[in-house]
């Protein structure tokens, strides 16, 4: 019954086209390819139905789930791009039955569908690698062990393999044949991907030795770089300098050149501050009652004021006052060394040097801390009858 109705419909269409003025050949082509046209429409309709299900039903399921990996897969359009392969499968299955009388056309369409499938798989693989990168980025391990370089290597491999497959389909040769031909131009290939290969080697060493992380403060004098690492990729490392400029440094430079990473200083809980003040030698003198009256409001150890003490000089009193002041300062790490000392005299005076470790990590607060400390020292020195050397 179905066959009779189908033949009647085909004959009716054929008669209608002839009545419209189409030739017999064109009429036969239209009737023969009508089934293929219907199959294509059905496959497109199925794709949009699946896409609707993904954007409506699957999206709600993804948003309700507690895990984040499915969110990244959806955001990177892995599911919607994977759905593009469904029309190809439908056409591949129904193609021989629709135009069985045209083997050359079937072969041509098979090649086109294969190329389309290869392109879709490359796109899906690219989206999947992007999703893997974002899923890994949610882990605490991401800053210390970045995988962006490995993901980029994976993308290069995917695109290279995809290109080889596409070329093999177009010329009708095996991919192994093309790979054998590529061996003859391996030197050119190595030259083209030299930076990527060096970057991959550098990325492995940086990750395995934990040389650099995103968020590290680093300096590299050769490139005049002083800032925070914001991105580590296969070829370059981006550093945001403290003047808000961004420097791009080749990744391989971090294992071939010298650079300074300040991460350990921050992890140790103290940022070293070493400063010195040149004291005028002519202002150094022994302690007298007048000086004691000026310095009585400052916290000075009692043994410094004992008669006959060899340390009874205004510079000695100030040195002990500064040491006591630093041991009570909230910005100084009291668990680390605090040092106040006199260096050998020079032609410009005698250097009074102090070394402490600050608990402040913020750059702005740290600059305010060291500036305030120096200002306090300069303002307090006159109370001890001391003068800072200043060239006339």
Q: Give how far the C-alpha of residue 371 lies from the chain's centroid of Cα atoms, to the nearest Å.
A: 34
Contact predicate 95/110, CB 8 Å? yes
Q: How many domains does the chain have?
A: 3
DSSP 65-113: SS-SHHHHHHHTTHHHHHTTHHHHHHHHHHHHHHSTT-HHHHHHHHHHH
* Residues in the chain, overall count: 392
Collect all residues with Cβ–Cβ distance below 8 Å to 222 and sequence separation of at least 6: 253, 257, 258
At residue 216, φ and ψ (nearest 5 deg) are: -75, 140
Collect all residues with Cβ–Cβ distance below 8 Å to 94 and sequence separation of at least 6: 39
User: Are both 186 and 223 inside the same structural domain?
Assistant: no
Residues 96-119 have pLDDT tens digits of: 777 777 778 778 888 888 888 888
Residue 341's SS3 state is strand
pLDDT value of position 250: 86
Residue numbers of the domain that contains 32:
2-197
Q: Is residue 204 part of a domain?
A: no
- β-sheet bridge partners, residue 271: 358
User: Are both 276 and 258 inside the same structural domain?
Assistant: no
Collect all residues with Cβ–Cβ distance below 8 Å to 381 and sequence separation of at least 6: 277, 279, 318, 387, 388
User: Are both 258 and 350 inside the same structural domain?
Assistant: no
- β-sheet bridge partners, residue 301: none
pLDDT value of position 85: 87
Q: Is residue 101 part of a domain?
A: yes
**Confidence tier at 2 by pLDDT (50, 70, 90):** very low
Residue 388's SS3 state is strand
pLDDT value of position 299: 59
User: Are both 354 and 379 inside the same structural domain?
Assistant: yes
The CATH code of the domain that includes 286 is: 3.30.70
Q: Is residue 389 part of a domain?
A: no
- Report the C-alpha dihedral over residues 374, 282, 286, 312, rounded to 10 degrees: 40
Q: What is the DSSP letter of 128?
A: H
Residue 310 has pLDDT above 70, yes or no: no
Least confident residue range of 45-54, 144-153, 216-225, 254-263: 144-153
Domain termination site, one of 140, 174, 197? 197
User: Are both 135 and 258 inside the same structural domain?
Assistant: no
Give the range with max mean pLDDT: 3-12, 303-312, 346-355: 346-355
Which one has a higher pLDDT value, 180 or 24? Answer: 180
- β-sheet bridge partners, residue 332: 358
State the burial class of residue 146 (Cβ atoms within 10 Å of its Cβ: 0-12, 13-18, 19+).
buried
Q: Give how far the C-alpha of residue 257 lies from the chain's centroid of Cα atoms, to the nearest Å.
A: 21
Considering the chain, what percentage of its residues have pLDDT values greater than 90? 6
Q: Is residue 390 part of a domain?
A: no
Give the span between the Cα atoms of 80 and 82, in whole angstroms. Answer: 5
Residues 82-93 have pLDDT tens digits of: 888 888 888 888
Residue 10 has pLDDT above 60, yes or no: no
User: Are both 321 and 220 inside the same structural domain?
Assistant: no
User: Are both 141 and 109 inside the same structural domain?
Assistant: yes
Give the span between the Cα atoms of 128 and 154, in whole angstroms. Answer: 11
User: Are both 20 and 165 inside the same structural domain?
Assistant: yes
Give the span between the Cα atoms of 186 and 181, in whole angstroms. Answer: 9
Contact predicate 237/146, CB 8 Å? no
The CATH code of the domain that includes 220 is: 2.30.30.60
pLDDT value of position 1: 42
**Confidence tier at 351 by pLDDT (50, 70, 90):** very high
Domain termination site, one of 197, 220, 237? 197
Q: Is residue 391 part of a domain?
A: no
Residue 289's SS3 state is helix
User: Are both 72 and 192 inside the same structural domain?
Assistant: yes
User: Are both 156 and 225 inside the same structural domain?
Assistant: no
pLDDT value of position 352: 92
DSSP 305-321: GSTT-TT-BHHHHHHHH
Kindly calculate the radius of gyration of the chain based on its CA atoms and give it in whole angstroms.
39
Least confident residue range of 45-54, 81-90, 150-159, 380-389: 150-159
Domain termination site, one of 197, 231, 247? 197
Q: Is residue 203 part of a domain?
A: no
pLDDT value of position 6: 44
154-163 contacts, C-beta under 8 A, 24 or more apart: 154/129, 155/126, 155/129, 156/193, 156/196, 158/122, 158/125, 158/126, 158/129, 159/122, 159/126, 162/118, 162/119, 162/121, 162/122
Residues 269-289 have pLDDT tens digits of: 667 788 999 999 888 888 777
User: Are both 28 and 150 inside the same structural domain?
Assistant: yes
Q: Is residue 240 part of a domain?
A: yes
Q: Is residue 392 part of a domain?
A: no
User: Are both 189 and 226 inside the same structural domain?
Assistant: no
Residues 182-235 have pLDDT tens digits of: 665 666 666 777 777 777 777 777 776 778 888 888 888 888 888 888 888 877
């Amino acid at each position: 019954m179905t066959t009779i109705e189908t033949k009647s419909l085909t004959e009716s269409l054929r008669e209608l086209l002839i009545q419209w003025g189409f030739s017999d050949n064109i009429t036969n082509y239209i009737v023969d390819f009508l089934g293929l046209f219907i199959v294509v429409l059905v496959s497109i309709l199925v794709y949009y139905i699946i896409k609707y299900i993904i954007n409506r039903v699957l999206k709600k399921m993804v948003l309700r789930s507690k895990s984040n990996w499915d969110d990244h897969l959806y955001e990177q359009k892995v599911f919607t791009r994977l759905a593009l392969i469904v029309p190809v499968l439908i056409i591949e299955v129904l193609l021989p039955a629709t135009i069985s009388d045209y083997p050359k056309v079937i072969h041509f369409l098979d090649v086109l569908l294969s190329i389309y499938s290869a392109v879709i798989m490359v796109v899906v693989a690219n989206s999947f690698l992007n999703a893997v990168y974002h899923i890994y980025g949610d882990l605490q391990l991401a800053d210390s062990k970045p995988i962006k370089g490995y993901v980029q290597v994976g993308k290069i491999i995917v695109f290279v393999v995809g290109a080889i497959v596409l070329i093999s389909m177009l010329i009708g040769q095996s991919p192994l044949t093309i790979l054998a031909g590529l061996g003859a131009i391996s030197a050119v290939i190595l030259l083209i991907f030299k930076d990527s290969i060096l970057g991959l080697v550098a990325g492995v060493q940086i990750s395995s030795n934990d040389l650099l992380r995103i968020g590290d403060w680093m300096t590299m004098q050769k490139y005049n770089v002083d800032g925070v690492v914001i991105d580590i990729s296969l070829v370059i490392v981006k550093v945001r300098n403290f003047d808000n400029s961004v420097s791009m440094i080749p990744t391989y430079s971090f294992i071939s050149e010298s650079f300074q990473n300040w991460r350990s200083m921050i992890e140790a809980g103290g940022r070293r501050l070493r400063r010195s003040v040149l004291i005028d030698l002519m202002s150094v003198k022994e302690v007298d009652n007048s000086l004691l009256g000026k310095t009585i409001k400052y916290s000075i150890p009692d043994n410094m004021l004992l008669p006959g003490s060899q340390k009874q000089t205004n510079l000695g009193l100030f040195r002990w006052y500064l040491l006591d002041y630093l041991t009570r300062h909230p910005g100084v790490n009291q668990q680390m060394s605090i040092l106040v000392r006199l260096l050998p005299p020079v032609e410009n005076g005698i250097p009074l040097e102090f070394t402490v470790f600050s608990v402040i990590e913020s750059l702005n607060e740290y600059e305010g801390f060291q500036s305030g400390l120096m200002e306090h020292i300069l303002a307090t020195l006159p109370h001890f009858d001391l003068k800072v050397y200043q060239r006339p």
